[in-house]
Structure 1
Amino acid sequence: MIRPVRPAGYHPPVTQAVPLPTRPLTVATVQAEPVPGDVAGNAATAARLVGRAAGARVVVLPELFLPAYHPPVLGADPAGTDVAAGADGRVDDPRLDPLRAAARDGATSVVIGAAVRHPDRRRTISSLVVDPTGAVTVGYDKQQLWSGERELFVPGRRGATLLVDDWRFGLGICYDGCFPEHGRAAADDGAHGYLCPSGYLAGSEHRRDLYYAARALDNTMYVVFANSVDGADPWRFNGGAAVYEPEGRALVRGADTGEDVLVATLDPAALGATRAAHTMLTDRLPHQGPARATLVG
């Protein structure tokens, strides 16, 4: 189930009102190379990768994986690279049928990147959620657009939390995770984890590895980071898909090249112990800005 969240920004946290999950949850993160413009072929690739993550309750694939993160193709063929959403956020596109079947067969919730055309003609970078029944819903529209993305897409209007069993996951996409307040808004809504399909280009390895570990530690929550990999310059991606535990250490991490499916188990006991030892979420002052004193030395 997906529930909306207010836009990122300070609001009274509900973290402590949300109980810890009662059972561990197995998740998978994917790094793979989609073919620009081939939504049907990329959906079939995604289905194959979901099959490799047998036993995972949640599988996360990269940003814009269905059309591929390739702005020249996204700009030249919006009709062919977009999926259409209904007024209720549902997506009924036969090109996604293999992925629907993989989610059903694996009893898995799949989070995958897409270019979405909404009924009001907005075009967004979005995460689709394919639930274990095979239903496809627009889960979240990227709020923080990066660089030339603003020429092709409009920003999302609000955050979202995905509920899987008794685990709560904030949804982010790539550049969202560069903003501490975005992950904090998820934590304030009671998230136990943060799912971030992404598209990091070769040469950005330092930032790739720093941002999502920091979001985990900032908010004492798990972070699942997926990324595209390989491709041709200037759209060559650097993999490094990872799952971070609530102190920011990588439980699993992919190489900088090559396809991979990485599986990890999220442990509610580890989450609880970390939040008991590191109480930033409850110790935070409600009014830390914007007022500042100015000192003259």
Structure 2
Amino acid sequence: MIAAAAQFPSAVSDIDANAARTAGLIAEAAGRGAELVVFPELGLTGYELDAIAADPGRCVLAPDDPRLAPVRDACRAAGVAAVVNGPGRGPSGTADGMTIATFVYGPDGGLLSRYAKHHLYGPENELFTAGPAPGGRFTFRGLRFALATCYDNAFPEVAERAAADGCQVYLASSFHDSVERTDEYAALARAHGFDVLLANGTGPRSGGVGCGHSGIWAADGSGLARVTGETGLALAEVGVSAGPLPEDSAPAGTSGGRITG
């Protein structure tokens, strides 16, 4: 199946605007053949810890939040799945225990899976609660997927557990500030024998300047696709040995083809 890593500069704490941009990229990816689209860490609010801390009640999200209706509707309209990330309600269902949450919506717009970042990084510990481990597994189109968020990938046991669980594709929603960090995902793929997809944040944020360069790597560590602009999609066939998509299938700012926190 073809999967896509998507990135765009999120509007600070503007969930409505970010959900609309997310929906637009889902539709664009689906139009280019993608069946699954993955977005960066805190892409629904921007990686803006100060802004989230100033108004957590407004920023925190549940999977059925009305503000995420455009995302769910885009999945239904295109018949694809989407992996989005933002501040999520903790196990109690209240703003207390807020997590860095990943929601996976299926082609019917329903929730396929959810995951809460387990390894929090630096100032995240003052704002968020760590999610339980293990977690973040789902099966879609006959493939077994693992979810991880940014700093999770600095801990070898996270990827080791995903490989032991038989996951064929590893999905990382992250916010990295250097291309060198994004390049480390090639070694992650090679070490564990699964395809790796990174959706990385972009633009100046409270955590630094996201460098983008979202990408997809095959199980042997070879690069299949990278986003070269601030906004765009990287598409590749995952779950099988596959080469790059035709070069002319990628519009400006994108590429087509087959860590640390």
Place the TM-score, normalised by the shorter chain, in its bin. 0.7 to 0.9
- Given residue 160 of structure 2, which amino acid in structure 1 is its aligned partner? R
Relative distance call for 1:161 and 1:267 in structure 2 (3 A) is closer
> Which residue in the other structure is 2:129 paired with?
154
CA distance in 2, matches of 1:249, 1:113: 26
Name the CA distance, whole Å, in 2 between partners of 1:170 and 1:107: 21
Partner of 2:191: 218
Tell me the alpha carbon deviations over residues 97-153 of structure 1, each in whole angstroms, 9 at most, x when there is no partner: 111111011111100111101351321101111111112366111011111100000
Query: In the TM superposition, what whole-angstrom CA distance separates every residue of 1:55-87 from its partner, at most 9, and x where no partner exists?
Result: 211100001111111111011010111113xxx
Q: Structure 1, residues 146-196: CA drift from partner, whole Å, max 9, x if none?
A: 111000001111222121111001110111112221111001000001000
Of 71, 74, 78 in structure 2, the residue corresponding to residue 102 of structure 1 is 74
- The residue type equivalent to 1:65 in the other structure is G
Of residues 88, 106, 120 in structure 2, which corresponds to 1:131? 106
Q: Does 1 or 2 have the higher relative contact order (CA < 8 Å, sep 6+)?
A: 1
Question: What residue number does 1:79 align with?
Answer: 57
Alignment of 1:257-268 (within 5 A): 257-268=229-240
- CA gap of 1:147–1:269, structure 2 versus 1, over 3 A, is same
Q: Distance in 1 between matches of 2:222 and 2:235?
A: 15
By how many angstroms is 1:208 displaced?
2.1
Correspondent of 1:51 among 24, 27, 34: 27
| Aligned counterparts of 1:114 and 1:234: Cα–Cα separation in 2 | 15
Q: In structure 2, what is the Cα distance between the partners aligned to 1:163 and 1:137?
A: 9
Give how far 1:228 is off. 1.2
In the TM superposition, residue 231 of structure 1 has moved relative to its aligned partner by 2.8
Amino acid at match of 1:215: L
Q: Distance in 1 between matches of 2:158 and 2:206?
A: 30
Q: CA RMSD in A?
A: 1.7
| Separation in 2, partners of 1:145, 1:234 | 13
Pick one of 16, 26, 34 that aligns with 2:10: 34
d(CA) in 2 for partners of 1:191, 1:117: 27
2:173 and 2:236 map into 1 onto residues whose CA distance is 16
- Report the CA distance shift for 1:134/1:233 in structure 2 as closer, same or farther (over 3 A): closer
User: Residue type of the partner of 1:78?
Assistant: P
TM-score in terms of structure 1 length: 0.76
How far, CA to CA, are the matches of 2:205 and 2:61 in structure 1?
25
| Counterpart AA for 1:152 | L
Amino acid aligned to 1:70? E
